[in-house]
Amino acid sequence: MRTLLSEEQIQQAVSNMACEVVETYGDKPLTIVGVLTGSVVLLADMIRKLSMPLRVGVVQASSYRGATQRGPLVINSDLMPNIANQDVLVLDDIFDTGNTLVELLALMDQLGPTSIRTAVLLRKLGQQEVDLQPDFVGFDIPNEFVVGYGLDYQDEFRNLPYVACLEPDDLRD
């Protein structure tokens, strides 16, 4: 694998996104909902950089079955806090097709939040299948399979402090 984004680049992007979030919300209370499991590292780093009153929750959304096989999206919102009448920021690791985020936002919108915005560390170029674009983006990246900083391949590599591209020889099914 080869490094795409260094630990330093990622930390700078997270700081920049946090500044944008603060500019958008000011001192208003905010509910941040991280999308499991990929966003846990970003979620932890992001909330430490925000100064407004925060509520934090998570939602599990997955469409992968095995290493790279996509299937229907499964959403488990049992760990998500009540978002009625709240400003909500949905935090995810990567935006590729956009289908996961669109379905999550549709579900969350039914729960009556005051507002919903989205933040992603990575936006994979050329993969979007929806009109939606995230409100806050750390990096635009090429269409490559990436791991690290919460992203995995067969449940490995989430702990890397950087983002790396897997080479074809690294992929196994």
Q: List active site positions.
A: 96
Largest interatomic CA distance in the chain: 49
Please give the structure tokens belonging to residue 151: 């992203």
Q: Which amino acid is at 22?
A: V
Residues 116, 81: Cα–Cα separation, whole Å: 14
Could you identify the residue written with the tokens 């806050």?
A: 136
14: number of Cβ within 10 Å: 20
Is the backbone of residue 148 left (phi > 0), alpha (psi -120 to 50) or beta?
left
- In the Cβ-directed half-sphere of 78, how many Cα atoms lie within 13 Å? 2
**How many residues are present in the chain?**
173
Residues 105, 66: Cα–Cα separation, whole Å: 25
Residues 80, 127: Cα–Cα separation, whole Å: 28
